[in-house]
Structure 1
Amino acid sequence: MDIELRHLRAFLALCEEANYTRAAARLHLSQPALTRTIQQLERIVECRLIERTSRRFELTEAGVDLVKHSRRIIADIDTVAAELRLRATIEVGFAWLLPDWFAVPRSHYEALGGRITLRRIDDPLAALEAGSIDIALYRNEARLPRHLASRMIATEQRVLAVSTNSPLATANNLAWADLAHYPLVVNTVSGTIHAGSWPAPDPEREIITCTNFDTWIELVAADRGIGGVPALARTRAPHPGVVYIDIPDAPPSHVYLAWRTKPTPLRAVKQFLENA
């Protein structure tokens, strides 16, 4: 049998604690298990590492030498492992209109040596749950399963989207409440508004549904109904058949990042979340 890292880590913990009970607790081992590990290490190197006759904890000459080498070996291994983890590629899924500010945490993470792959997908939360991406960026108010966690990381001003053929395209001084009865186009998978986005939803209101942004904007352009979208759509998603109108009292939309908590997320994922 060859020396393994578990042998060296156990030996170092014992040397630093100078006590089997404390070292075993630190390593989350039973004391007999730690004793067996140390004895196994001594059999592998074929020499005694710890004095057995002294009443206090004391290393043999070989034990003192092994401590020096063990510290160097484990420090080198930990450094290499940390560097490789930072180079890990994580995949971020988003449904539409990746925010401009996303470039900042992406640059910070990649400056540390990591890599990010972006994936446009209609339902990033479903992809995250299926394990095909590492992090989901989404805007809808979703109830997540217990093995997913999320964090709100930004707030975006919302604007009204209407067809160029709609009478609202040239309307002035519109308020959010004025829009409560118009036919509404709702992206049920990744959209930011629905009938409940108004304080008193109209039960007779016509709702036209779709499941992605591309279909949503085409339905608005076809004057099937009005829509609401973050203001960045004005520059990021211009459409010849759509007008974006500022509504001063429109409720803002929120941007979230979600990740899996089970199994335990990769350290690269945690590193990116810290940067984000």
Structure 2
Amino acid sequence: MDVELRHLRAFVALCEEANYTRAAARLHLSQPALTRTIQQLERMLECRLIERSSRHFALTDEGRELLDRGRGILADVDAVCAALGSRAAVELGFSWLLPDEWFAETRTRFEQLGGRIALRRIDDPLTALTDRTIDIALYRTDNGLPRHLRSRPIATERRVLAVAAASPLATATGLRWADLAQEPLVVNTISGTTTAESWDPPDPGRPVITCTNFDEWIELVAADRGIGVVPELARVRAPHPGVVYRDLPDAPPSRVRLAWRAEPSRAVRRFLEVA
């Protein structure tokens, strides 16, 4: 039988607690199991590590030497595991348009820790997260999350109006949010940020044209099937010859969120620390 890390962890815990009961509780072991582990260690090393004659907990010379070296070994092993775990690639899924500044800063900080980010463009990041296709989802919808997922906001984005170049709204002045409440609306039902319910109160008779991804959405807007409302980032990152983006100063902002599974890996936890 060879000395294993569990033997060293048990011995170091016992030395630090100086009490079998407390050490066993710390290690989530029964006291007899801890005693057997220490006895196994002594048999393998062929020496006494703990003074049996003393009324108080005391180490032999060999025990003191093992404690010093054992702590170093465990510290080295833990450091290596932490470093390798943080360098694992994290798969970040998104449906469209990563926030430029946030992603650049997060990627730099994560890579400085030795991590790597693998990007996955996917129509429904939250479903992919549930299916374990990705590790982290970046999303903008306001839909509720399943109980097995956790999330937090990372940014807010201004919204702009998107209309067909041929639409009268492309050149209209003084556009306000309330003015758009009855316009036909193109809604990306999977990853969009705006629905008819984004207006208060919503118009039950309003025409709504649905799609399931950004590419479909922008083509429907360009075809003048309806108006669209998107984060301002689309104006720079997703120009289209048939679409005009207009400012909407009083439009409610949209939120960008990250979601992850309830029991994240070490790499995901490290990513969330810098995101």
Q: Secondary structure at the match of 2:150?
A: strand
Whole-angstrom distance in 2 between the partners of 1:128 and 1:122? 12
Give the percent of matched residue pairs that are identical in Structure 1 and Structure 2. Answer: 72
> 1:118-267 counterparts in 2 under 5 A?
118-261=119-262, 264-267=263-266
CA deviations on 1:156-214 (whole Å, 9 max, x unpaired) are: 00000000011100100011011011110000000000010000111111110000000
Q: Secondary structure at the match of 1:77?
A: helix
User: TM-score, normalization: structure 2?
Assistant: 0.97
Whole-angstrom distance in 1 between the partners of 2:228 and 2:54? 81
Whole-angstrom distance in 2 between the partners of 1:56 and 1:206? 82
Identify the residue that residue 28 of structure 1 maps to in structure 2.
28
Matched, 1:270 2:259: no
Identify the residue that residue 16 of structure 2 maps to in structure 1.
16
Q: Which amino acid aligns with 1:203?
A: P
Q: Secondary structure at the match of 1:189?
A: coil
Q: Which amino acid aligns with 2:73?
A: I
> 1:55-94 counterparts in 2 under 5 A?
55-94=55-94
Whole-angstrom distance in 2 between the partners of 1:50 and 1:114? 43
Gaps of 5+ in 2: none
Whole-angstrom distance in 1 between the partners of 2:65 and 2:252? 67
Aligned-residue offset at 1:28: 2.2
Whole-angstrom distance in 2 between the partners of 1:26 and 1:235? 55
User: TM-score, normalization: structure 1?
Assistant: 0.97
Aligned-residue offset at 1:64: 1.8
Matched, 1:53 2:53: yes
Identify the residue that residue 111 of structure 1 maps to in structure 2.
112
Write out the 4+ residue segments of structure 1 that deviate beyond 4 Å after TM superposition. none
Q: Which amino acid aligns with 1:206?
A: P
Q: Secondary structure at the match of 1:228?
A: strand
Aligned-residue offset at 1:12: 0.5
Q: Which amino acid aligns with 1:131?
A: R
